[in-house]
Structure 1
Amino acid sequence: MIEFQNLVKIYNSGGKEVHALNNVNLKVNKGEIYGVVGYSGAGKSSLIRCVNYLERPTSGKVIVDGHDLSKLSEKAIRDVKKNIGMVFQHFNLLNSKTVFANVAMPLVLAKTPKDKVIKRVTELLEFVGLADKADVYPDQLSGGQKQRIGIARALATQPSILLCDEATSALDPQTTSSILELLKKINEEYKITILMITHEMSVIRQVCDRVAVMEDGKVIEEGSVFDVFSAPKTKTAQNFVSTVMHDQLPESILNMIKENGTKNVIRIHFIGQSTGKPLLSQLAKKFDIDTNVLFGNITELQGIPYGNIIVELQGPDTEVQRALQYMTTNEISYKEVNTYVS
């Protein structure tokens, strides 16, 4: 549906070249919600703006629904863009026009017959839960309501692709959650492919199927939300994941481990049905060791239970090694804490 091939975007700033995108290769499949996360300046906004040619790439290809945009005429690009809706961080509504007029704007510009405009706008306002706000003005709406209107406007021309550029960054957590649920509903009911740009990993976790992590204009990690969240490979991805998974030991516990010279502290991961198995009880019964739980939680990623605990194995070294071998034999994932955190 959307593919970036060796995409490069260079800006000229004060006589210097700024490489916003550096050989980016990504593919967004039809019907999925794909998230791109990164810190400010990572290049993610430049990436999404290349999809509808708000920014023209310096080199490389942007392929949308089979069309290589670099090979199309201006008219052909405009035709492709009609199939792409965009939702902005700061709503971009016209304060001088009513809610109805704002949603109708793309249809009016496309010279859609009036009766079809009325029908489509009425349908969309009902869909986003603001049918009673048709005649009010944007200044009379809350931030969440404004974004719902922005989303309705983006859907007016019945696009197959929806681009969301930091669409929830200006909203409070509760409103963010409701907007994300709306986007999920759009994806499921309208079968629209969604590409989301954000710096909030909680957004990725709640609605996305796959995610790419960007840094300095490059994609440094990419995969399913489950894979990236459960086993982040890069330091940047680990930092992002830790903001929502809360899987790090408190500083006081880390200091205690260092001061006491505590050893045999391991992090154990449980996935799916294994989260319900009494592993620690089994270890204590099978081997001459005690297990001291230092930290633990269970969450859900893409509908799959995911558990994470940090324990100290106390006992003779030979017994501890037997216990670790038992976990390895039974394909139970674990890591020594002192190699996981620095």
Structure 2
Amino acid sequence: MIQFEGVTKTYGEGSNAVNALSGIDLTVETGEIFGVIGFSGAGKSSLIRCVNLLERPTKGKVFIHGKDLTSLSKREVRSTRKDIGMIFQHFNLLNSKTVFHNVAMPLLLSGFGKKEMSKRVAELLDFVGLHDKADQYPDQLSGGQKQRVGIARALATNPSVLLCDEATSALDPETTQSILDLLRKINKEYKITILIITHEMGVIREICDKVAVLENGVVLEHGSVFDVFTDPKHQTTQKFVRSIMNDHLPESILNDIRNKKNNHVYRIQFTGSSTGHPLLSKISREFDLDLNVLYGNITEIQGIPYGNLIVEFMGERNQIQKALLSIQQQSITVKDVIHHAS
């Protein structure tokens, strides 16, 4: 478990002081994959580096499995870091060392014997799919292979917590997917708690159990990925969700709708089994309405089907209201997008 309790990080002093983090309270449960998303400058890197005290909080506490790291001596912190693996955006490999020696470095620093170290490195390289690359150098590897070496190195000392600092942002989409699959495998097979920071909402949707949205060093909202994706509260969160859901209507269509009379536009959100029901055709017949689907998509979030429609309702006002009530009685969410009075 990772806990942030009132964590503030300030750089500089006096009039030059900048608050990178301001009173962060977050809990990452044991075994979770927790994502923190935010735009550049939001404070993501400062937050993740506070977990292993690469950055020491100016105020507040950081707990790992109930242990307050901010109260530990430097020696105790160094010992605790063996339980915290970290993966970096740009791999941070030693170009003068082979793949084997890059992965072995944490073991060497921890005093492992040669035989034990060789066995452990071989196991890790096999796990990340690089058993045949042990004697190669980083410059001979692709970006995805370099990141796999970084992951193997981070797992070397059997950590219970794995920190991912923009671990996929330097990779192409196909390679990103393979790395996310590997992280999911690590979480499942090794029962490791994973904290990911990213600016890519696709990464959050693909792998995370929970997400927190960070802006200007403050958590805007947090919760399960499903809840945040399907009902984002803050404008910044809505921007992130829109970037992956692609459900924003073009301004030309919005202007055209605004110029019409007697039309009403609503967002209809389905979850679970309701995504497979022929709702709109039934509503159109029953209430004598013309329905125009402006946007439609069905996806899966955390294994739950989620349908998202933007629909233009045309007809008598009272019939539209009856239709909306009928939809809501089926536990389907309806939100007003554009509304013109009759």
TM-score after normalising by structure 2: 0.97
1:96 aligns with 2:96: yes
1:63 aligns with 2:60: no
Q: How far 1:13 sits from its partner (Å)?
A: 6.9
- When structure 1 is superposed on structure 2, of 311-320 and 271-280 the one drifting more is 311-320
The answer to whether the 8 Å contact 2:262/2:316 transfers is no
Match in the other structure for 1:48: 48
- Secondary structure, counterpart of 2:85 in structure 1: strand
- Secondary structure, counterpart of 1:260 in structure 2: coil
Q: Which amino acid aligns with 2:297?
A: N
Determine the C-alpha separation between the residues in 1 that align with 2:78 and 2:40.
Answer: 30
Match in the other structure for 2:216: 216
Match in the other structure for 2:311: 311
Aligned residues: 339
Determine the C-alpha separation between the residues in 1 that align with 2:43 and 2:262.
Answer: 43
- Equivalences for 1:16-31 in 2 at 5 Å? 16-31=16-31
The superposition leaves residues 5-29 of structure 1 with CA deviations (integer Å, 9 ceiling, x where unpaired) of 0001000079600000000000000
Determine the C-alpha separation between the residues in 2 that align with 1:157 and 1:331.
Answer: 49
Q: How far 1:329 sits from its partner (Å)?
A: 2.7
Match in the other structure for 2:138: 138
Q: How far 1:262 sits from its partner (Å)?
A: 6.0
- When structure 1 is superposed on structure 2, of 60-69 and 330-339 the one drifting more is 330-339
Match in the other structure for 2:113: 113
Q: How far 1:312 sits from its partner (Å)?
A: 1.3
- When structure 1 is superposed on structure 2, of 245-254 and 55-64 the one drifting more is 245-254
The answer to whether the 8 Å contact 2:7/2:23 transfers is yes
Q: How far 1:338 sits from its partner (Å)?
A: 2.6
Match in the other structure for 2:199: 199
Determine the C-alpha separation between the residues in 1 that align with 2:23 and 2:279.
Answer: 45
Q: Which amino acid aligns with 1:184?
A: R
Q: Which amino acid aligns with 1:230?
A: T
Determine the C-alpha separation between the residues in 2 that align with 1:278 and 1:230.
Answer: 21
Unaligned runs of 5+ in 1: none
Pick closer, same or farther for the CA change 1:262–1:243 going to 2, 3 Å: farther
Superposed structure 1 runs of 4+ greater than 3 Å apart: none
The answer to whether the 8 Å contact 2:99/2:135 transfers is yes
- Secondary structure, counterpart of 1:338 in structure 2: strand
Match in the other structure for 1:9: 9
Determine the C-alpha separation between the residues in 1 that align with 2:262 and 2:12.
Answer: 54
Determine the C-alpha separation between the residues in 2 that align with 1:64 and 1:87.
Answer: 18
Q: Which amino acid aligns with 2:98?
A: T
Q: How far 1:327 sits from its partner (Å)?
A: 1.9
Match in the other structure for 1:251: 251
Match in the other structure for 1:190: 190
- Secondary structure, counterpart of 1:194 in structure 2: strand
- Secondary structure, counterpart of 1:30 in structure 2: coil
Q: Which amino acid aligns with 1:318?
A: N
Q: How far 1:282 sits from its partner (Å)?
A: 1.6
Determine the C-alpha separation between the residues in 2 that align with 1:15 and 1:109.
Answer: 41
- Equivalences for 1:172-183 in 2 at 5 Å? 172-183=172-183
- Equivalences for 1:31-46 in 2 at 5 Å? 31-46=31-46
Match in the other structure for 2:291: 291
Q: How far 1:331 sits from its partner (Å)?
A: 2.5
- Secondary structure, counterpart of 2:136 in structure 1: coil
Determine the C-alpha separation between the residues in 2 that align with 1:70 and 1:191.
Answer: 25
CA RMSD of aligned residues (A): 1.3
Determine the C-alpha separation between the residues in 1 that align with 2:272 and 2:50.
Answer: 38
Q: How far 1:326 sits from its partner (Å)?
A: 1.4
Q: Which amino acid aligns with 2:50?
A: C
Determine the C-alpha separation between the residues in 1 that align with 2:276 and 2:146.
Answer: 43
- When structure 1 is superposed on structure 2, of 69-78 and 173-182 the one drifting more is 69-78
Q: How far 1:252 sits from its partner (Å)?
A: 2.9
Match in the other structure for 2:80: 80
Unaligned runs of 5+ in 2: none
Match in the other structure for 2:164: 164
- Secondary structure, counterpart of 2:169 in structure 1: coil
The answer to whether the 8 Å contact 2:103/2:156 transfers is yes
- Secondary structure, counterpart of 1:264 in structure 2: strand
Match in the other structure for 1:151: 151
Determine the C-alpha separation between the residues in 2 that align with 1:137 and 1:103.
Answer: 12
